[in-house]
Amino acid sequence: MSFYGIVDVPDSGPGGHRAGLGQQVTAGRLRFRLFVVIAAATVTTPLFTLVLGRHLGASVAGPLTLGMLLLGVHVLAMLVAAVWYDRACSTHFDSIALPQHSSADDPETGRYS
Amino acid sequence: MNPYGYLAVQNNGFISPITSFMLVMIGSFLLCLIVGIENDRVSGFFLADRSLSTLRNCLALCGDFIVPSALLSLVGAVALSGYDGMFIAVSAIGVLWVLLPLAEPLRNTGGFTLGGILESRIPGAATRIAGTVVTVMVCVPMTVVQLTVAGDVTSFALGLHGVGASQICTALIGLLIVSYAAFGGMRGTSMIQIGKTIFVIGATLALTRVVLGRFHWDLGAMVESAGDQHGGRAAFYSSGLLFGDTGTGMADLFSLGLSITLGGAGLPHILMRMNVFQTGRAARRATRSAVTVLTLCYCAMAVAGLGAAAVVGSKTIASSNPQGYSALFLLSDSLGGNFLFALVSCAVFITALSTLASFILAAAASIAHDVYAGSDRRGRVKETNEVKVARWAIVIFGVLNVFLAVVLHNWSILSLASFGAVLSASAALPALTYVLFWRGFTKTGMLWTLYGSLACCTVLELFSPAVSGTPYSFLPEQDFHWFPLQNIGLVSIPVGFFLGWAGSLLSRPVTVPQPVDFELS
């Protein structure tokens, strides 16, 4: 399975085609990195839960238990990854304006009218 | 009759559950009527003409993820099972994480139903029909369960006892929701979702503030007290209270977490919401913002759950409702104040209204747009006719679900909600992921994923402890289960992905138009 998602490649000659493919590869890389973080967190938290067992209730600092710390790190990873992904996409794609009307601007609703 | 029921009946104050409910009902209905006036076109009825701002859509997206059973069961699960409940809360936040990479490509397909999105890569009536079948199979159990919960909660908040009272509340609420969805369409539903998000977050934060104030803002004291109420801090904050600390119990917990995380991203009303955004990048940005908003909301719910364990006590909560659904009400009751109880009741009530309207609208959209307009009439249909069919589909689908909810009211149907989430994670999500990101995905692979997963989920659910073999099963007096897990996602989700991959590899690849990913405009 390829994570190199698919981009609308504008019909603006070989240069434009290469630029489109470049965007496609970058989009795939960003998505792959996010996928790795999601998969790691999704696997790691249950794994630690399983391994730590009764120790999850052990106090780490004040009211914070080991289990709370584990879940807190998971939530923090989610927040950081979400912000990173959005910023990376903004940097790489949102600033680019190509003179191409995206097919997404034609909602599916118009097909039957 | 609880004291607030007395207040409601005796009319001893303006702020009581019944006056709050009336205000919410009248306000929502007027809102739907006003904003639904221009809903005679397909894009207006299903997509609100894409006229909602990103902020409003973001709030509506948050609202889409806050369902009544989650709102009540999360607080109850944290109150009754400590760490396991918090694990479920974190899994619920994870839904948006899964949705984040999908948001922009989903919006850019231009489809607003599962069948429509899949058809952007794999054209044909079979695609739309398969999408509709899965959509309806996901929506029916979830709608029935949420309706039942809404009826129970309303009767409890109004101080009405007995199954008959709950059934009447379920029927009345259901019919009200059907009229909301039929009149308001996506525009009306979105406005109620926005109001709900603001209301629910406000209510949970207010409750959190009051409960922390009870412990003089000493979180440590509250955590300690919650643990002591359940026989010790070590046990309460360790895993195993929800499903047991055996291997099967742990597998059940992880399975439930996985189903919630992956299932939420493929729910029909979420797919519909994605296409209401003006652009793909707006969808992505709103999803990013929703991660923050929902994290705040779920953390507040977790604190409220711990507060309920500390203030009310796990035994009292469990004796009131074994699933802990009443924890939120018991907490607001214990903390005192008619206002707080009415606020929480109202938050749950508006959550039920908006969520159910979204589910019914999504199912009707799939029936009207994919089956009637897309398959039956092959696209040769006037927009006004399609909207008319959609309104009738809402009425028929809604009334059928209300009937089912009333009939099944005495049955243990909570497992049905998890079935909807699991089916979404096992059938819809693999198909969407492959369609958006894998060039080699074929029609055979798609049909194998959708129908194969549906069959797999049905068989596993039928022979799981959710249907028979335990006192909380759908058929508690029967025992024909052989599958050990109550939550089947751990098996059915990998099967769903495998079927799509295997079906595509075994079928001849066909060159098809590629979908749009990142928007370049």
Q: How far apart are CA B521 and CA B515, in angstroms?
A: 15
pLDDT tier, A107 (very low <50, low <70, confident <90, very high otherwise): low
Q: Mind telling me how many Å the CA of A82 is from chain B's nearest CA?
A: 6
Whether residue A70 has pLDDT greater than 90:
yes
What's residue A25's pLDDT? 82
* Nearest Cα residue in chain B from A70: B87
User: Given the DSSP bridges, would you call strands A64-65 and A59-61 parallel, antiparallel or unpaired?
Assistant: antiparallel
Secondary structure of residue A91 in the 3-state scheme: helix
What's residue B166's pLDDT? 86
What's residue B508's pLDDT? 67
CB contact under 8 A, A102 and B519: yes
Whether residue A4 has pLDDT greater than 90:
no
- Residues in chain B with CB shorter than 8 Å from the CB of A68 are 83, 86, 237
Q: Averaged over A41-59, what is the pLDDT?
A: 88
Give me the DSSP letters along B131-200: HHHHHHHHHHHHHHHHHHHHHHHHHHHTT--SHHHHHHHHHHHHHHHHHHHHHHHHHHHHHHHHHHHHHH
Neighbouring CB atoms inside 10 A of B323's CB total 18
Cα angle vertex B382, ends B376, B387, to 5°? 85
Closest CA to B171 of B144, B138, B141, B140: B144
- Longest Cα pair distance anywhere in chain B, in angstroms? 72
Secondary structure of residue B273 in the 3-state scheme: helix
Q: How far apart are CA B258 and CA B425, in angstroms?
A: 9
Structure letter (DSSP) for residue B468: B
Whether residue A14 has pLDDT greater than 90:
no
- Residues in chain A with CB shorter than 8 Å from the CB of B281 are 89-90, 93-94
> Taking chain A, what is the end-to-end CA distance rounded to the nearest angstrom?
36
Q: How far apart are CA B177 and CA B151, in angstroms?
A: 12
Chain B CB within 8 Å of residue A65 CB: yes
Rounded to 5 degrees, what are φ and ψ at B83? -60, -45
Closest CA to B310 of B201, B203, B237, B202: B237
Contact status, residue B146 vs residue B6, Cβ threshold 8 Å: no
Contact status, residue B427 vs residue B497, Cβ threshold 8 Å: no
Secondary structure of residue B475 in the 3-state scheme: strand
Rounded to 5 degrees, what are φ and ψ at B206? -65, -45
CB contact under 8 A, A104 and B254: no
Q: Averaged over A103-107, what is the pLDDT?
A: 53
Q: How far apart are CA B120 and CA B108, in angstroms?
A: 10
CB contact under 8 A, A112 and B108: no
Contact status, residue B180 vs residue B353, Cβ threshold 8 Å: yes
Q: At what angle do helices B489-506 and B453-462 cross, to 10 degrees?
A: 150
Q: Mind telling me how many Å the CA of A36 is from chain B's nearest CA?
A: 12
Contact status, residue B327 vs residue B80, Cβ threshold 8 Å: yes
Contact status, residue B135 vs residue B392, Cβ threshold 8 Å: no
Q: What is the 3-state secondary structure (H, E, C) of B54-110?
A: HHHHHHHHHHHHCCHHHHHHHHHHHHHHCHHHHHHHHHHHHHHHHHHHHHHHHHHHC
Secondary structure of residue A59 in the 3-state scheme: strand
What's residue B453's pLDDT? 96
What's residue B146's pLDDT? 87
Q: Show pLDDT as tens, one digit a residue, over chain B (521 residues).
A: 444 443 344 444 556 677 877 888 888 888 877 877 767 788 888 888 888 899 999 999 999 999 887 788 889 999 999 899 999 999 999 998 899 999 999 998 988 999 999 998 898 889 999 999 999 999 999 999 889 888 887 887 777 777 788 889 899 989 988 988 888 888 888 998 999 999 899 989 989 999 999 888 888 889 888 888 777 778 888 888 888 888 899 999 999 999 999 999 899 999 999 999 998 899 999 999 999 999 999 999 999 999 999 998 888 888 887 878 888 888 988 886 778 888 888 888 888 888 889 999 999 999 998 888 876 666 677 878 888 899 999 999 999 999 999 998 878 777 777 899 999 999 999 999 999 998 889 999 999 999 999 999 999 999 999 888 888 888 888 889 999 999 999 999 999 999 999 999 998 655 555 555 554 43
Q: Mind telling me how many Å the CA of A113 is from chain B's nearest CA?
A: 6
What's residue B8's pLDDT? 42
What's residue A100's pLDDT? 46
What's residue B449's pLDDT? 95
Contact status, residue A67 vs residue B83, Cβ threshold 8 Å: yes
Instruction: Give me the residue from B233, B254, B518 closest to A57, CB to CB.
Output: B233
What's residue B515's pLDDT? 54
